[in-house]
Amino acid sequence: MLTKGDDFPLHQTPEPVAYPGTDRNFYDRYFFNGYSPDGETFFALAFGVYPVLNVVDAHFCVVRGGKQNCLHASRTLAMERLDLECGGIAIEIVEPLNRLRLKVEGEGIAADITFAGRAFPIEEPRFIWKRGPRTIMDYTRMTQNGHYTGWLSVDGKRTELPAGTSGTRDRSWGIRPVGQSDPQMPQMVPQFFWQWTPINLAERSVFFHLNAHPDGSPWNTRAVCVPDGAGEAEHIHTDTATLNTSIQTGSRWPASSTLRIGNESFTLAPMSRFQMRGLGYTSPKWGHGLDHGALEIEREDIDLNAVDPARPDNLHVQMLCRVTNETDKTGMGESGLGVFEQLAIGDYAPLGMTGLSDPV
């Protein structure tokens, strides 16, 4: 079967682009988040393509005033991977690796937002995670900070994005658990620990991520500092950064924490919280790659003050943080905004976490 992608130099196998291989868990995903300079408005979008499952899904969320308004959509892929629209959520690639446009219209939620990158995207170390003989994850991810222009609207209340609205996007592709769970996986208490801190400072971006085993030993980690306008060769990488994490009492959500990269020390102080299930992550109904038929669209409204932090689908969060660095080499200090994303499932000894989702 030939599709639009076959007219582009995208092929990775002798097959047409419609055929990605034999692993049912192959996926291709876009992620975006953004926030106003005062932190009052936060938005996020996720768009996933699952070629072997023949599914595409998309989600868009807005957080304001302690409420998270979410638009979910899923449809049949029909093997056409270049139709980046699903249930009123669409992505337009205006300039690859630099400018992308997001358009949303549905269930009282709308947006027209353009992302412009601050520098060339970073390529993170390849994520490979095995459980016994099974490869659970094997994927590549690129990440990029940028600025946003445009507007968004919820229930007729339109907001123009102010100057200085910034955020992060990523693109990942490869193998992750998607769709229905595999009944032949070994039965055991799940364990997964993930932290990610993309930060927007005045003249540069800072990135850190950590995947770790239950004892705290990392299986994938990296910190990168990227000056504005930097090309790929100008990224500064290190594997020796550390994130000293504090946890909110009665939860597994991060509190004020400190990221150390070389001689620099960044304080991350949470301002607000975003529940990642609004984008399908760990959502029982809207989990990534689940088959909802030809087309299904649904709105979900989350009262962030009423969320149970111990419920497994609420573990995955992004905390919008005010970030300060009093140790930068200019001696003047610097500040900005960023997110502290964390998903802690199961045991994690360094933070005293035990059980599936028991609060600390």
Summary mean pLDDT of the chain: 95
Of the candidate ranges 186-195, 249-258, 302-311, the one whose mean pLDDT is the lowest: 186-195
Question: Is residue 303's pLDDT more than 80?
Answer: yes
| pLDDT band per the 50, 70, 90 thresholds, residue 133 | confident
Question: Is residue 6's pLDDT more than 80?
Answer: yes
Of 136, 138, 135, nearest to 125 by C-alpha is 138
Work out the angle at residue 9's Cα, subtended by the Cα atoms of residues 8 and 14, and round it to the nearest 5 degrees: 110
Model pLDDT for residues 230-250, shown as the tens digit of each residue: 999 999 999 999 999 999 999
| pLDDT band per the 50, 70, 90 thresholds, residue 188 | low
Q: Find the mean pLDDT for residues 303-316.
A: 97
Question: Is residue 338's pLDDT more than 90?
Answer: yes
Question: Is residue 329's pLDDT more than 70?
Answer: no
For 276-286, letters b (16+ CB in 10 Å) and e give: bbbbbbbbeeb
pTM, 2 dp: 0.96
Residue 333: the pLDDT is 78
| pLDDT band per the 50, 70, 90 thresholds, residue 80 | very high
Q: Find the mean pLDDT for residues 198-206.
A: 97
- Residue bearing the bigger pLDDT, 291 or 133: 291
| pLDDT band per the 50, 70, 90 thresholds, residue 93 | very high
232 backbone dihedrals φ, ψ, rounded to 5°: -60, -35
Q: Find the mean pLDDT for residues 79-97.
A: 96
Residue 189: the pLDDT is 64
Question: Is residue 346's pLDDT more than 80?
Answer: yes
Residue with tokens 């060339």: 120
- Calculate the alpha carbon distances from 277 to 144, 260, 296, 315 in Å: 22, 29, 17, 9
- CA gap 19, 245 in Å, rounded: 43
Question: Is residue 331's pLDDT more than 90?
Answer: no
